[in-house]
């Protein structure tokens, strides 16, 4: 098997081009079928398609397999000449290294972002469901995901926030030891709040209220996260239940006022509330931060946390790269070992044939009246002579030619204590 990866990502192609070559998960089975039918030599395939990348992972008969880039352009009806300059291609160990870096979040727009590992698993599942993936890619993906998991658990690559959405959730986790038990109110329904909701779900939070000026937008997000939707008229009610409030809207004036929070605190009996205002201009009146039992952070407060996180992730990335290099060394040794498989199999089969023939001969001798111990001794001599005949002839011939490399190899292979000396 030859391993091949071809694709484009946020560093090689603009978003408008990435959009054109993205794959819809619903049409992936058809895409796999068309790929295997159109390009000879593809044994197995998997496709990873996200907002930041489209990549094809392939097990092929030969690295000279037909131009995958042309197929990708044809499938999406994109000009191949336009697409080609934005594509990258990796094979064998470089392909494996790239896959490991992608799955570990080292090749992501946000260094160390955790979603990519799940997307990688989804790509594997889709290929398996479409019967486009077999044992070869399964084995490769298993190794890749194993390394990615080690990167997540053995380095600090994902432990420090690098976005305001992620930072707000991380800070909430520092204040509430059992974050999953908290009730969260999200004010807004835009992209930032959507990311916050995703991070909260990853932390096991299930009690979510979404409050938004346009109720329909709140309902869409609430349905996606299993929460409840409210218009701004329901804000005061939602705040009374909330242990955590995270806000990001486009309002030009504060949405959450001090008097509303004061009333909520009385109902809550001053139970602590963690608030993050991610909006500019601010959604939460600054005076709210002076209230007892309220922990209020703004986007500026989070920036210092984010910068610390970026520095920490860069350090962790170096550790991750070392893990990947070690894994690639192991993979390369394994690939080298595969080269000996056929030779070892043939050697074992040849020796087994000799052993079977000599055992049969010994049994016949015993049946004819020969003493068992003599028959066994003869079996051992015959088996030894026949097994060593070929190698002995080859070694003698090599010595006569002055080819000492074969003699040295034989000494290493059989761990002989004495070596032949040239006379």
Q: Looking at the predicted structure, is the pLDDT value of residue 419 above 60?
A: no
Residue at a domain's end among 111, 127, 159:
159
Which CATH number is 300's domain given? 3.40.50.720
Classify residue 284 by its DSSP letter: B
351-365 confidence digits (pLDDT tens): 898 889 889 988 998
User: Residue 62's pLDDT is what?
Assistant: 84
Q: Is residue 20 part of a domain?
A: yes
Q: Is residue 320 part of a domain?
A: no
239-250 confidence digits (pLDDT tens): 999 999 999 998
Q: Is residue 21 part of a domain?
A: yes
User: Could you tell me the two tokens for 284?
Assistant: 């939460």
Judgement on whether residues 183 and 277 belong to the same structural domain of the protein? yes
The domain total for the chain is: 3
Judgement on whether residues 17 and 152 belong to the same structural domain of the protein? yes
Nearest to 171 by CA among 88, 275, 261, 60: 275
The pLDDT mean for the chain works out to 89
Q: Is residue 77 part of a domain?
A: yes
Least confident of 296-310, 334-348, 400-414: 334-348
Residue at a domain's end among 307, 324, 347:
307
Residue at a domain's end among 108, 128, 159:
159
* Contact (CB, 8 A) for 80 and 73: yes
Judgement on whether residues 255 and 144 belong to the same structural domain of the protein? no
Judgement on whether residues 230 and 344 belong to the same structural domain of the protein? no
Catalytic residue (choose from 51, 182, 240, 359): 51
Least confident of 61-70, 133-142, 305-314: 305-314
Judgement on whether residues 212 and 175 belong to the same structural domain of the protein? yes
- Which of 79-83, 105-109, 383-387 has the largest mean confidence? 79-83
Judgement on whether residues 288 and 194 belong to the same structural domain of the protein? yes
Q: Is residue 422 part of a domain?
A: no
Q: Is residue 39 part of a domain?
A: yes
CA dihedral (224, 228, 234, 236) positive or negative: negative
Q: Looking at the predicted structure, is the pLDDT value of residue 162 above 70?
A: no
pLDDT band, residue 423 (cuts 50/70/90): very low
Judgement on whether residues 244 and 123 belong to the same structural domain of the protein? no
Q: Looking at the predicted structure, is the pLDDT value of residue 421 above 90?
A: no
Judgement on whether residues 276 and 234 belong to the same structural domain of the protein? yes
More confident residue, 227 or 398: 227
User: Residue 417's pLDDT is what?
Assistant: 65
More confident residue, 346 or 256: 256
Judgement on whether residues 235 and 129 belong to the same structural domain of the protein? no
Judgement on whether residues 171 and 143 belong to the same structural domain of the protein? no
Least confident of 147-161, 213-227, 368-382: 147-161
pLDDT band, residue 420 (cuts 50/70/90): very low
Q: Is residue 83 part of a domain?
A: yes
Q: Looking at the predicted structure, is the pLDDT value of residue 344 above 90?
A: no
Judgement on whether residues 181 and 294 belong to the same structural domain of the protein? yes
> For the residues 280-298, what does the mean pLDDT come to?
92
212-231 confidence digits (pLDDT tens): 999 999 999 999 999 999 99
> For the residues 99-116, what does the mean pLDDT come to?
87
pLDDT band, residue 60 (cuts 50/70/90): very high
Cis, peptide link before residue 417, omega less than 30° from 0: no
Task: Compute the CA torsion angle 118, 122, 125, 129 (nearest 10 deg).
Answer: 160
Judgement on whether residues 19 and 148 belong to the same structural domain of the protein? yes
Residue 51 annotated among the catalytic residues of the structure: yes
What is the extent of the structural domain holding 54? 2-159
Which CATH number is 16's domain given? 3.30.460.30
Counting other chains too, the contacts that 387-395 makes at CB distance below 8 Å and 24 or more residues apart are 387/351, 387/354, 395/420
DSSP 112-149: T-THHHHHHHHHHHHHHHTT---HHHHHHHHHHHHHHH
User: Residue 336's pLDDT is what?
Assistant: 72
Helix (H, G, I), strand (E, B) or coil at 406: helix
Least confident of 30-39, 41-50, 182-191, 295-304: 295-304
Helix (H, G, I), strand (E, B) or coil at 209: strand
What are the two backbone dihedrals, phi and then psi, of residue 176, each rounded to the nearest 5 degrees? -110, 110
More confident residue, 73 or 191: 73
120-145 confidence digits (pLDDT tens): 999 999 999 999 999 999 999 999 99
């Amino acid at each position: 098997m030859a391993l091949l990866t071809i694709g484009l990502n946020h560093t090689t192609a603009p978003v408008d081009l990435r959009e054109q070559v993205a794959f819809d998960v619903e049409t992936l089975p058809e895409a796999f079928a068309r790929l295997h039918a159109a390009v000879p030599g593809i044994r197995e395939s998997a496709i990873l398609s996200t907002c930041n990348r489209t990549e094809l992972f392939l097990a092929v008969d030969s690295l000279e397999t037909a131009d995958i880039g042309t197929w990708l352009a044809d499938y999406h009806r994109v000009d191949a000449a336009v697409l080609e300059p934005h594509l990258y291609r990796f094979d064998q160990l470089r392909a494996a290294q790239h896959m490991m870096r992608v799955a570990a979040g080292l090749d992501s727009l946000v260094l160390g972002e955790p979603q990519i590992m799940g997307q990688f698993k989804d790509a594997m599942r889709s290929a398996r469901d479409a019967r486009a993936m077999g044992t070869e890619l399964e084995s490769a993906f298993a190794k890749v995901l194993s390394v990615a998991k080690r990167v997540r658990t053995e380095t600090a690559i994902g432990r420090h926030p690098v976005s305001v959405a992620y930072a707000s959730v991380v800070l909430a986790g520092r204040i509430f030891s059992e974050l999953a038990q908290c009730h969260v109110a999200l004010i807004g329904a835009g992209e930032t709040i959507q990311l916050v909701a995703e991070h909260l779900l990853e932390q096991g939070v299930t009690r979510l209220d979404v409050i938004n000026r346009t109720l329909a937008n709140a309902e869409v997000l609430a349905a996606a996260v299993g929460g409840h939707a409210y218009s701004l008229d329901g804000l005061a009610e939602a705040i009374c239940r909330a242990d955590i409030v995270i806000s990001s809207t486009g309002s030009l004036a504060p949405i959450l006022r001090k008097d509303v929070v004061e009333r909520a605190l009385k109902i809550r009996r001053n139970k602590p509330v963690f608030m993050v205002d991610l909006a500019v201009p601010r959604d939460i009146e600054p005076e709210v931060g002076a209230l007892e039992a309220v922990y209020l952070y703004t986007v500026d407060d989070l920036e210092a946390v984010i910068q610390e996180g970026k520095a920490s992730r860069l350090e962790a990335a170096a550790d991750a790269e070392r893990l990947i290099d070690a894994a690639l060394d192991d993979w390369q040794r394994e690939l080298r070992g595969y080269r000996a498989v056929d030779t070892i199999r043939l050697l074992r089969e040849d020796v087994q044939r000799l052993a079977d023939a000599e055992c049969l001969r010994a049994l016949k001798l015993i049946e004819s009246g020969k003493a068992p111990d003599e028959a066994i001794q003869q079996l051992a001599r015959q088996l030894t002579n026949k097994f060593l005949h070929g190698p002995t002839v080859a070694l003698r011939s090599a010595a006569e030619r002055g080819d000492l490399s074969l003699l040295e190899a034989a000494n290493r292979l059989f761990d002989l204590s004495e070596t032949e000396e040239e006379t």
